[in-house]
Amino acid sequence: MRKAKPIDDSCQPKAHKPLNHRLIPVLTALAAAAALGLAYFAQYGLHLTPCELCLYERWPYRIVIALGLAATLAPARVMRILLSLAALTLLGGAAIAFLHVGVEHYWWNSPLPECNGALTPGAPLPMFPATPCDRPVFLIPHLPISMATMDFCAATAFALLLLAYVLPKRRRYR
Domains of the chain: 23-115+134-166 (1.20.1550.10)
Q: Is the pLDDT of residue 96 over 70?
A: yes
Q: Is the pLDDT of residue 4 over 70?
A: no
Q: Is the pLDDT of residue 131 over 80?
A: no
- What pLDDT does residue 92 have? 95
Reported confidence tier of residue 111, pLDDT bands at 50, 70, 90: confident
DSSP of 90-101: HHHHHHHHHHHH
- Rounded CA-CA distance 50/66 in Å is 23
- Rounded CA-CA distance 165/39 in Å is 26
Q: Angle 171-168-35 (CA atoms, 0-180°, nearest 5)? A: 135
- What pLDDT does residue 160 have? 94
Query: Which residues lie closer than 8 Å to 138 by C-beta, 6 or more apart?
Result: 144, 145, 146, 147
- Rounded CA-CA distance 162/142 in Å is 32
For residue 123, count other CB atoms closer than 10 A to its CB: 7
Q: Is the pLDDT of residue 154 over 60?
A: yes
Single pTM value for the model: 0.78
* Per-residue pLDDT reduced to its tens digit, 8-63: 555 555 655 556 678 899 999 999 999 999 999 988 888 888 888 888 899 999 99
